[in-house]
Amino acid sequence: MSQLTVNGIRVDDTFAEAFEMRATALTITAHNAAWARQAAETMTGFATSVIGCGCEAGIDRVLNPDETPDGRPGVRVLLFAVSTSELQKQLQARVGQCVLTSPGSACYAGLEAEERLKLGSAVRLFGDGWQISKRFGDKRYWRIPVMDGEFICDATTGLSRTAVGGGNIIVMGATNETTLAATELAVEAIAAVPNVIMPFPGGIARSGSKIGSKYKGVRASTNDAYCPTLKGAGNSALDPDITSVLEIVIDGLTSDSVAAAMRAGVRAILALGPERGALRIGAGNYGGKLGSHHYHLKDLLP
Amino acid sequence: MSPLVFTLRDAPAQRLDLAPLTPDRLVGLSQSKIAAIQLQTTRDRVLAGDVFKIRMGDAMQIRFEGGSERFDRIGAGMSQGEVSVDGDVGIQAGRLMEGGKLAIAGNAGPWAASGMTDGSLTISGDAGDRLGGPLAGETIGMRGGVVIVRGNAGARAGDRMRRGMIIVEGTADTCVGSRMIAGTIVVRGRTGRLPGYLMNRGTIVTMDGSDALSPTFVDSGVHELLATVLMARYVETYSPEIAAMLRRPWRRLLGDMAVIGKGEIFSPSVAN
């Protein structure tokens, strides 16, 4: 593979291939920032990949009290799925089981769009007839009596059909320690970019996957080309000096936000340099035929 | 562009039906066409040009210079634009209003905002009885929009209200929110006897308490609820003082248990 070298780090001449997804956003608030985060983390747990979790979800950013509808500390959460019906199903289940149940929580639309998904309109039945609809101007809320007061929830939230899932960076290094250090730095840089999430644990996937498997019915399997223990066997993509590979997967509300996130991540890794960080940066794709969005690493360099 | 102005020549000799003088009806009409619009409510014909001196302008902004307790049905059925009146108006101001802004500088008679579905009505003086309420034979009163009364409201404000918001900065007479179906009424001053009489659902905030509460309301204690905070955010643009008060804890009373009892009255945390 042809490569460029920037600040001593090899950058593959390749691209990340990403797909159109359905997405929505929520603003979750609570008495304090810690409980808002707790509700958001619970809700976005087990949401690393649409392959096994139904949706990909994560925290976009922490909101100041003056940015939330009720003036309390909050967190903005993004959810991505492959279809509107699956997104609706996941939204309903996750808000119902994880946000409704969290002490002092309230849940508001985090995305304004013409097309709507049911939010409170789905969860309201928990109220068993005691739920109250309140409409102030264009906004309709559901008030559901719960044991610490009322759970307040917007009736609907916006749906985006033009969100992008699957932006990625593959970080390759000499040791687990340096590779992880570089990847963590990239995650930190990407976290500052609005409208994107990194759904894997702490933003990082160590088990990058390829489509399909030798086994019937297994939809995804280990990306053997990037497994350092398989170097020399089969079609390894790794150089002799690479012994650790990590991947950051990025979902964004717009293609521009995914590009901005990848740019921030790549630049952070390059700035750290090869001694303390990564030796090589790559990206995952399927030959370019499956996904409608291509992010070439060479376009993201400083 | 300057507004279209109707200046009252003399006190009207009979009640007038001003429903035709809305932006919806006047946009695109010439001065002579407007002057020929009939406004009488008796057998004596009265034309707009007889009652008012007309100064042409943008018909999306209509101003009445001078008012009268005989100005009936002003802004009735309007769906867009702005109508303002310098003085008082008669019955049914903004009746079945669908949008736009109606502003009354003086007092309004009974049935203002009757059956209103959207838009805003501001009454700087007092409102008569049955603000937003249905006329005889109708089953539903106000269905949306916002009504702001800077003065006091008469009896049965929000009768049979279904949706929308009524804000009263002064007091409200007896049976505010009677037979409410849903919606929100906020009264800054004291309310008369029996607020929420036979209300099914909906919210009434009696910020200064009421003269007598029906025994068919039950006390569910003092709560600091997000619902009143969200209400405050919405009310802020209309009445900042009321908005600030809404952020406090309120005593929540459930009722009217004489019917389905799914309504609520927020009253001061310490009974008064």
Question: Between chains, do A69 and B223 touch, taking CB under 8 Å as contact?
Answer: no
Q: How many CB pairs lie under 8 A apart between chains A and B?
A: 45
Question: Between chains, do B203 and A134 touch, taking CB under 8 Å as contact?
Answer: yes
Question: Between chains, do A133 and B227 touch, taking CB under 8 Å as contact?
Answer: no
| Nearest chain A Cα distance for residue B21, angstroms | 27
Question: Between chains, do A130 and B262 touch, taking CB under 8 Å as contact?
Answer: yes
In chain B, DSSP assigns E strands to 3-8, 16-17, 52-55, 58-65, 71-72, 82-85, 101-104, 120-123, 143-149, 163-168, 184-187, 191-193, 203-206, 210-212, 218-223, 250-255, 263-267
Three-state DSSP class for A133? strand
Q: Summarize pLDDT for B180-198 with one digit per residue, the tens.
A: 999 999 999 999 999 999 9
Please check whether residue B218 touches A, CB under 8 A.
Answer: no
Among positive and negative, which fits the CA dihedral A268, A273, A277, A278?
Answer: positive
Q: Summarize pLDDT for B147-160 with one digit per residue, the tens.
A: 999 999 999 999 99
**pLDDT score at A287:** 87
Probe site for chain B from A29, A135, A140 (most B CB atoms < 10 A): A135
Please check whether residue B190 touches A, CB under 8 A.
Answer: no
Probe site for chain B from A105, A136, A138, A148 (most B CB atoms < 10 A): A136
Q: Which chain A residues are within 8 Å of B232, Cβ to Cβ?
A: none
Assembly ipTM: 0.92
Residue A129, both tokens: 């007839």
Return d(Cα A219, Cα A203) in angstroms, integer.
22
Digits of tens for pLDDT over chain A (302 positions)?
A: 788 999 999 999 999 999 999 999 999 999 999 999 999 999 999 999 998 999 999 999 999 999 999 999 999 999 999 999 999 999 999 999 999 999 999 999 999 999 999 999 889 999 999 999 999 999 999 999 999 999 999 999 999 999 999 999 999 999 999 999 999 999 999 999 999 999 999 999 999 999 889 999 898 899 999 999 999 888 899 999 999 999 999 999 999 999 999 999 999 999 999 999 999 999 999 888 889 999 999 999 98
Q: Which chain B residues are within 8 Å of A139, Cβ to Cβ?
A: 230, 234
**pLDDT score at B271:** 57
| pLDDT, mean of residues B114-119 | 98
Q: Summarize pLDDT for B228-242 with one digit per residue, the tens.
A: 999 999 999 999 999
Surface of B (59-78) touching A: CB under 8 A: none
